[in-house]
Structure 1
Amino acid sequence: MELIQISIYYLFVLLVRIGEGVLYIIALLTKGISLLISRIVFLLKSIKNVILFFLKRLIKAGKTVKKYTHRLIHPKKRISHKEKRQKDLALKPASPKARIRYFFYGTFFSLLFFFIPIAIFLFLQELPSPKALTARQIPQTTKIYDRNGVLLTQIYGPQDRTIVALAEIPDNLKKATIAIEDKNFYTHPGFDVQAIIRALRENISGRSFQGASTITQQLVRSSFLTNEPDIVRKIKEIIIAFWTERIYSKDQILEMYFNQIPYGGTAWGVEAASDVYFGKHVKDLTLAESTFLAGITTAPTFYSPYGQEPNRWKMRQKEVLSQMVRLGFISKKEKQDALSETLQFRNRSVAINAPHFVNYVKDFLAQKYGLAMLERGGLTVTTSLDMTLQKKAEEITSPMELCSSQDLKAVIFLQWSEAVISTTHKAAMLTSRLETANRDHQSNLSPTLQRSQKAIPQQRFLKIILSPILSRVVLPTHLLIMTGNFEEEFPSGQLLVTR
């Protein structure tokens, strides 16, 4: 009796110690779930202490009872030789069935305490760390402005993205996204058990196909994983999402989500999506526009207003607004006002302002910083071009022909070494002709005359300003070429490049 109790006691202690050791190893190696495992270890310790307490009491009680009743219950007797022989025969080798049973027991405990922990460790080692969400270099769009802050063009690779802070995103867009994508965002640990059960029930019943990914899971999938419907990928997604929630706050996760999720085409993030669809900053979005953006993230191509069925998005927008009313985010009147608002979508083909000048700046930046930095570095480039004068120049030269210089009004060229005020396609073509003619003219001069010749300034690029005043006062029969000094806030025609 005592031997059995002691054996059970030490066997249980051994199993508990092995379990604690395995859990501690997993806790040390799997970082993100260390808190959960530490709680499990604490629970095991508590259970162990309670069981050990009762086992000790039972063993102590057993010894006390045995001390006074052993002689009465089990009188001491001499074991005969025959009885000893029968006892030895009882310890014969185990039967084949018993061996099979012991084999399965050994295999089970080997898997439980050795192979499975190793497999879990190797699986977790392959997972990317959520810390890379802030440590990685996120591709951003380079923007080129004129001297007054007017946007000339945007340069980007596969992803058009502009990072914005959560404070710049309107509350309506935040609430709309949470309402339609993850209503329990601020309460779940990275994955929503209720949403998973609901999605399984709907999918099994065949009534509809639903996903159960939280905002955190969508962020993880878009940043590290693929969209393939794979159970292994889903497990990875849940683990990394749980780990992400342990590292970042809810607002940090929401901000990264808004800057990471694709909204259709090359538009990644809400700022780029606001510009692509509505031609405005995200902070200026209305409730109707916010619900449109919140609704298309599920299937941007399907709900695109530029697709074959450009009105599909309206049903999705109505669904988003209804969910917001159901959760108390907006009133029914606000919903009706948003539904009655007519959305003005931006024309997909957007012209580049001052294209020849912009192309020159792009070539210059690509040579200086490299094409990768230009397309993904998120540079802010302020040039010396004045877009107001540029438009005036285009208005003046648009009805004119380039057949002869007599057809042009007053055109003034300024040296590039000072500043770019405005340039037009026609002037760029004339500039090329002038430079070619000047090179041909100077090739026929002596070296001394070439050094003193300044009728037409030598430069890589000529800047022009077209003056309506001169067109009224002067009727030139030739181009007026000036080499005057022009220095304001952009000395030597430098570009102001920031990140």
Structure 2
Amino acid sequence: MLKRWLIYLASVLFGLALVGTLLVAFVFALLYPTLPTLEALTDYQPKVPLRILSAEGELLGEFGEERRAVVKIKEVPEIMRRAILAAEDERFYQHGGVDYISVLRAALTNVASGSQQGAGTITMQVARNFFLTRERTLTRKLREVLLAYKIEANLSKDQILELYVNQIFLGQRAYGFAAAAQIYFGKPLGQIDVAEAAMLAGLPKAPSAYNPVANPKRARTRQLYVLRRMHELRFISDGELKQAQDAPLVVRQTIRDTTAHAEFVAEMVRQTMFETYGEDSYTRGLTVYTTVRKVDQDAAYAAMRRGVIDYDRRHGYRGPEAYVSLPSDPAELEQALDSAFQDF
């Protein structure tokens, strides 16, 4: 009797699993033909701002909606790649676009703690950032999964990671880790250390919440979490973990990328480029070299500043000569005005 019930139960479960599998396959078969082509990925043309440089190559001005510096994956330091994997997708090089182990782990964590823990892979994030909206619907999620499989079938892992590294938004109008390294730390991506890599890798989850300029405490908490994950995955040693945890994180509080005061020159070049290329001048990654030399421009700016300050000292406004109290009584008011102006 018991054996019969077990066979019956197994048959029911198998039938439900089969129906579920067929239903999912049917839905996927309907959605897959509607997926976009991957031309946006295979022919990647990001929005790169117009950059105006001095004769020596110093930045005089930058114009564009998005701050971005495109880098090849081989130019991304190993410590940055490891920090990204630790923070976002530790099994990136093992799964095929969707990490079912992480999905199961996240589901168990959500049930146990009542929290909301995601399980989106780097490939799924690439699909979302390039092709999908932010709406929270089952159809959009299914399209994200299918796109992840399609991307994995057509691009290598390093190609996918390179797209992610250059496209992801990281706050302060920075798109991509190269731009973020320059904006937050004032240095090229290749020069960042472990502590800085962990801070940058923590930004994609919530760029505003973990922005080290606006929310330094939350950014620090997120950075320490990424460092612990890097240590657990054996990406860094005990000594590197301790050193990174103790290292003071110096973040630029004012975002100024230009190294010389040449605003009028930069604006003149911008207008010229706009007349030629229109709105495309702000997104095509054009670089314009001028004949302006930084040393000459710095000397001219310093001389002008000294001259303006000297002139102001000789002729500038120094406040009122006297204060007049205005009584409400007309007779007293007239007398107060006569007294105030008697020396003029």
- What band does the TM-score fall into relative to the shorter chain? 0.7 to 0.9
Question: Is 1:276–1:348's contact at 8 Å kept on the other side of the alignment?
Answer: no
Question: Is 1:144–1:382's contact at 8 Å kept on the other side of the alignment?
Answer: yes
1:191 aligns with 2:105: no
Residue identity opposite 1:331 in structure 2:
S
1:175 aligns with 2:79: no
Q: Which string of whole-angstrom CA distances, capped at 9 and with x for unpartnered residues, describes residues 428-462 of structure 1? A: xxxxxxxxxxxxxxxxxxxxxxxxxxxxxxxxxxx
Q: TM-score, normalised by structure 1?
A: 0.55
Q: CA deviation at 1:316?
A: 1.0
Residue identity opposite 2:60 in structure 1:
L
Q: Secondary structure at the match of 1:385?
A: coil
Question: Is 1:152–1:354's contact at 8 Å kept on the other side of the alignment?
Answer: yes
Paired residue for 2:238, among 332, 346, 353? Answer: 332
Paired residue for 1:316, among 222, 229, 239? Answer: 222
Partner residue of 2:252? Answer: 346
Partner residue of 1:355? Answer: 263
Distance across 2 between alignment mates of 1:340 and 1:119? 51
Residue identity opposite 2:33 in structure 1:
Q
Q: Which string of whole-angstrom CA distances, capped at 9 and with x for unpartnered residues, describes residues 107-158 of structure 1? A: xxxx99xx9988655422221123431225321122111000111121112x
Distance across 2 between alignment mates of 1:351 and 1:280? 10
Give the structure with higher Rg (CA). 1
Q: CA deviation at 1:231?
A: 1.9
Residue identity opposite 2:292 in structure 1:
L
Q: Secondary structure at the match of 1:398?
A: helix
Residue identity opposite 2:88 in structure 1:
E
Partner residue of 1:368? Answer: 276
Distance across 1 between alignment mates of 2:267 and 2:309? 22
Paired residue total: 290
Q: Which string of whole-angstrom CA distances, capped at 9 and with x for unpartnered residues, describes residues 390-413 of structure 1? A: 001111221214999xx9xxxxxx
Question: Is 1:219–1:257's contact at 8 Å kept on the other side of the alignment?
Answer: yes
Question: After the TM superposition, which residues 397-408 of structure 1 pair with which residues of structure 2 at under 5 Å, given as runs?
Answer: 397-401=304-308
1:267 aligns with 2:174: yes
1:140 aligns with 2:48: yes
Call closer, same or farther: CA 1:204–1:116 in 2, change over 3 Å.
Answer: closer
Distance across 2 between alignment mates of 1:182 and 1:116? 25
Q: Secondary structure at the match of 1:381?
A: strand
Call closer, same or farther: CA 1:192–1:152 in 2, change over 3 Å.
Answer: same
Q: CA deviation at 1:253?
A: 0.8
Partner residue of 2:128? Answer: 221
Distance across 1 between alignment mates of 2:257 and 2:237? 40
Q: TM-score, normalised by structure 2?
A: 0.79
Residue identity opposite 1:316 in structure 2:
R
Distance across 2 between alignment mates of 1:120 and 1:341? 49
Residue identity opposite 1:311 in structure 2:
K
Distance across 2 between alignment mates of 1:175 and 1:391? 41
Distance across 2 between alignment mates of 1:338 and 1:390? 40
Residue identity opposite 1:166 in structure 2:
I
Residue identity opposite 1:216 in structure 2:
T
Distance across 2 between alignment mates of 1:160 and 1:306? 17
Residue identity opposite 2:238 in structure 1:
K
Residue identity opposite 1:343 in structure 2:
L
What are structure 2's unaligned runs of at least 5 residues?
A: 1-18, 315-344
Partner residue of 1:455? Answer: none
Residue identity opposite 2:274 in structure 1:
A
Call closer, same or farther: CA 1:342–1:248 in 2, change over 3 Å.
Answer: same
Q: Secondary structure at the match of 2:307?
A: coil
Call closer, same or farther: CA 1:333–1:403 in 2, change over 3 Å.
Answer: closer
Question: Is 2:183–2:257's contact at 8 Å kept on the other side of the alignment?
Answer: no
Question: After the TM superposition, which residues 207-218 of structure 1 pair with which residues of structure 2 at under 5 Å, given as runs?
Answer: 207-218=114-125
Partner residue of 2:339? Answer: none
Q: Percent identity?
A: 34
Q: Secondary structure at the match of 1:175?
A: helix
Call closer, same or farther: CA 1:385–1:234 in 2, change over 3 Å.
Answer: same
Distance across 1 between alignment mates of 2:224 and 2:310? 58
Distance across 2 between alignment mates of 1:397 and 1:119? 70
Question: After the TM superposition, which residues 27-426 of structure 1 pair with which residues of structure 2 at under 5 Å, given as runs?
Answer: 120-157=28-65, 159-307=66-214, 309-350=215-256, 352=258, 353-370=261-278, 372-401=279-308
What are structure 1's unaligned runs of at least 5 residues?
A: 1-110, 408-499
Call closer, same or farther: CA 1:347–1:247 in 2, change over 3 Å.
Answer: same
Residue identity opposite 1:165 in structure 2:
K
Question: Is 2:28–2:146's contact at 8 Å kept on the other side of the alignment?
Answer: no
Question: Is 1:264–1:301's contact at 8 Å kept on the other side of the alignment?
Answer: yes
Q: RCO higher in 1 or 2 (8 Å CA, sep ≥ 6)? A: 2
Distance across 1 between alignment mates of 2:229 and 2:63? 37
Q: CA deviation at 1:343?
A: 1.8
Distance across 2 between alignment mates of 1:380 and 1:347? 27
Call closer, same or farther: CA 1:209–1:152 in 2, change over 3 Å.
Answer: same
Q: Which string of whole-angstrom CA distances, capped at 9 and with x for unpartnered residues, describes residues 74-132 of structure 1? A: xxxxxxxxxxxxxxxxxxxxxxxxxxxxxxxxxxxxx99xx998865542222112343
Distance across 2 between alignment mates of 1:221 and 1:287? 28
- Which range moves more in the overlay, 219-228 or 253-262? 219-228
Q: Which string of whole-angstrom CA distances, capped at 9 and with x for unpartnered residues, describes residues 334-391 of structure 1? A: 0111111112212334275300111111101111111x22211111111111011100
Q: Which string of whole-angstrom CA distances, capped at 9 and with x for unpartnered residues, describes residues 226-255 of structure 1? A: 233322211111111111111111111111
Q: Secondary structure at the match of 1:296?
A: coil
Distance across 2 between alignment mates of 1:131 and 1:286? 35
Residue identity opposite 2:134 in structure 1:
N
Question: Is 2:92–2:122's contact at 8 Å kept on the other side of the alignment?
Answer: yes
